[in-house]
Structure 1
């Protein structure tokens, strides 16, 4: 159950099940009870004061405010310590998100111009992050980790845009008094933060007050959720807090007492910001409870002959389907191409167009926020709501199928991390692996029975994933295993790989290669020149010293690797023989144990380990297409 809850496919499965349950309920013999149940009044009163909402409004205005609170937490974290702090990395997905909002809205409005459904132009603007990530998890290795990072950044910008659209264009009957109260309560929260008053109950009461005031003001209260989430404190772990937590835990281990246990708990918690702790606490509730309940309450639409016949010719349904499938694809693709064309930013991990087009296609899955805006745009017209919901479901399904087809074609045509220029390894006999020398970066004694050589790239996500496995191997085998790292930067697809390698070589001049190695792999999404300079300052060396000498060393490593048959990262050699197994702990253990006993390593064919491959077949196909 824990493994299920930890995956995107788990939350997506629950969301899909809730959607189907809503459809089945609305179309069952008890379909009348669906509307009756969700329109049951539920009041909260204190004396003569209070307010009453039906159950559907409590879900859409109340529970979804908590969902958008988590979105606000994510935005705040990404802006302050995550990927959104790097302007060049956020420029491309931000422009892609804007294109993915503007083009679908224009297409919908063009189809519905002058009609009763023209006000629903905001419906196809937002992508559904849960369904998109769930589909990408199902697609698996065809979707590399950098594409997930790209689409997550796009989704953050997308969510901000959708909330602004709701606040500005779908707000009626504004109450200035209630709005001023909401602003005053928000000011109290900011003041409490400035005064460093950390009492959770006070923030909970003030947050509920902001939500209630927003509800009374006429502005949709979900805006309160995203605003409050953005105000929660977030910071990167500091050495001071980590040291203090370690001392508190050691004091507790020497002299256990309730007071020391409380102090140790507080110190350990303080090493991680409240923002990240709240995300860990609330993500399961929003992913597995709140969003599925929202889908159950909003996805129930009758699918009888009359309804489907009306939807088939409705401009609202047609506009949403075309906007989600074609509009999102065109908008995201165009929004990606423009900043790349004018060099406004970089892509994470050097993504190629086959992967980006697949991501553009699946971003047309618009569900949660699209249903949310539908309820606001067509509040007084059940028929238009029904047409819109059918369009959302149909368009999302077609967008998912289009994305699957694009990923399939991109994979089959070899458009996976395919830089040009290398000879076809099938036509060139590999040379023996160069022996380990004094210039190599080595962990372990020269007398070790097994030498494991890695050709790696500091920006390669699969190299980063393998680092934990290598650390475990060193721990298990001790002096019997020697690790060697050689550079193989895929400069054609990883824009920061060469710079990171140069910095590691500068660190090596000061005997700090492995320290820099660990820092670079821990911060794979923060490898800009500014980041690399900061790492040099933290480790007390000049990261840009003797660049030409280090560049020659790195080029030499890569050229030797190419001659030895290296075609991607990470590539491993065990005692001079290329390792062709999976990159998990058990597979490495089997191969190392075989090397220790002198038996042949198992596995004659290439395993399924993740790898940033250099596909010469894909390169030739790409050249043909360009010609």
Structure 2
């Protein structure tokens, strides 16, 4: 009988190196995301705010193809499809070839993601009962991995590799659940013929990637056509990104040497598109989505008096913390899983607070729920910004208090006495994954 699973234990050395590479890219993306947000807020609250709105609302694209969209809509519908494509690749990679292919290890991030979405949604709903803001129930359910990692970079915490891996996996599962919510609950009008037509280029894309075809001049037109048809169907176009990602094979074929011959096509695409997603797509979306006119301190107070904004703030800060920590406790309480001996429950709470840093998908859901530029959407944006900042500050305080312990654990993970390239703390069982 297998021994008890150690919650947040370090994974294999190969997986740890891969996760570290991903996190470094996402951290840079988080800094750019923060820069885009600050620029948008400064511009939208300056004497030149009208020029910001004019830029955001500039329409481009072929009207005959129903793609005459504003720049803000192109960012939300088009650029975020790249973000969800990368998230889909990462999720498939984790569950097919990563450490989470073991169902016992996968149970925790899945449970935590579900808890971290369900509790904020319930809290938001309770705050907005009897009001007109119930349609925004999903706004506080998302976790923004780029922003969360940017906070970690700023506070310089030596967060253990197991917790970092969990945070990334939690956010990726969270993204998949969020896109499912968007497809089911925020599709106001469905045109089934267009959706069925989208299956044709999607299937062709899938056949080509399964045959390990990498030719961009074949794949990109099929991906663009799939995106366009999904957009025309009424389903949010970002869903196309996830569907395309799920067709990409993770491991090499036996003819190409099998799983031991190097990274598969999914990892190849992930390396290609992650810099585009983290460095361009998400920051540009943030620039066009975060430009809310607050109107000074009095305007901020007025916005937070709307139960929509209040529900978002409480959902992100309190709901995420309770949901992620509570789900982790339930997994440890009712299964044979146990918290890794190197960690304590304050570490879990600090991680859960980081989960309350919601931004990209939260802003997207707010626009879908209330309509871009509406009063309630503006108030929801204020709630997302305030909730994200509050969760980030609380997480920074707690994790900084724990940082001495993290530093000691990080030092242990660097010791390689035998010089084999694998830190000794991983041991032979963790070397190859």
TM-score, normalised with respect to structure 2: 0.86
Matched, 1:284 2:233: no
Does residue 15 (structure 1) correspond to residue 33 (structure 2)? The answer is yes
Counterpart check, 1:402 vs 2:394: yes
- The structure 2 residue matched to 1:111, chosen from 105, 127, 131, is 127
Tell me how far apart the structure 1 counterparts of residues 112 and 136 of structure 2 sit (CA, whole Å).
22
8 Å Cα contact 1:89-1:347 kept in structure 2: no
Give the alignment partner of residue 391 of structure 1, picking from 356, 375, 383. Answer: 383
Distance change (3 Å), C-alpha of 1:362 and 1:6: closer
In the alignment, is the contact (CA less than 8 A) between 1:90 and 1:345 conserved in 2? no
Return the offset for 1:233: 1.7
Q: Deviations over 1:246-305 (max 9, x none)?
A: xxxxxxxxxxxxxxxxxxxxxxxx843221122112111111111111111011011215
1:403-482 aligned within 5 A: 403-411=395-403, 465-467=414-416, 470-471=419-420
Could you tell me which residue of structure 1 aligns to residue 3 of structure 2? Answer: none
Structure 1 distance, partners of 2:272, 2:306, is 43
Question: Number of paired residues?
Answer: 410
Of 27-36 and 377-386, the range deviating more from structure 2: 377-386
Greater share of strand residues, 1 or 2? 1
Task: Specify whether residues 190 and 286 from structure 1 end up closer, same or farther in structure 2 by C-alpha distance, changes over 3 A only.
Answer: closer
TM-score (norm 1): 0.60
Q: Which residue of 1 aligns with 2:330?
A: 338
1:218 aligns with 2:127: no
- The residue that corresponds to 2:61 in the other structure is 43
Q: Helix, strand or coil: the match of 1:470? A: coil
Is the contact made by 1:112 and 1:118 (CA closer than 8 Å) also made in structure 2? yes
**Structure 2 CA distance for partners of 1:174 and 1:303, relative to 1, 3 Å:** same
Higher relative contact order (CA 8 A, sep 6+): 2
**1:416: how far off?**
9.1
Could you say which structure has the larger radius of gyration? Answer: 1
User: Is 1:296 matched with 2:268?
Assistant: no
Match runs of 1:201-280 below 5 Å: 201-235=217-251, 241=257, 271-280=262-271
Change (3 A) 1:216 1:12: same
Q: Distance in 2 between matches of 1:366 and 1:68?
A: 16
Shift in Å at residue 241 of structure 1?
3.6
2:11 maps to none
SS at match of 1:51: coil
- Aligned counterparts of 2:226 and 2:355: Cα–Cα separation in 1: 32
1:285-340 deviations in Å (ceiling 9; x for gaps)? 11111111111101101121563242131101111111111111111110100011
CA distance in 2, matches of 1:472, 1:121: 48
Report the Cα offset of residue 129 of structure 1: 0.4
Mapped pair 1:157 → 2:194: no
More helix by share: 2
Alpha-carbon distance change, 79 to 36 in structure 1, aligned in 2, over 3 angstroms: same
Partners of 2:54 and 2:84 in 1: CA distance: 27
TM-superposition CA deviations, 1:424-469 (whole Å, max 9, x none): xxxxxxxxxxxxxxxxxxxxxxxxxxxxxxxxxxxx8765543399
Task: Give the direction of change, closer, same or farther, for the CA distance of 1:344–1:372 in structure 2 (3 Å limit).
Answer: farther
How far residue 360 of structure 1 moved from its aligned partner, in angstroms, is 0.7
Contact 1:22 1:300 in 2 (8 A): yes
Q: Determine the C-alpha separation between the residues in 2 that align with 1:369 and 1:49.
A: 26
Unaligned runs of 5+ in 2: 1-20
5+ unaligned residues in a row in structure 1: which ranges? 245-269, 418-459, 474-484, 490-496, 501-516, 527-627
Shift of 1:187: 2.6
2:180 aligned with 1:171, yes or no? no
Matched residue, 2:146: 130
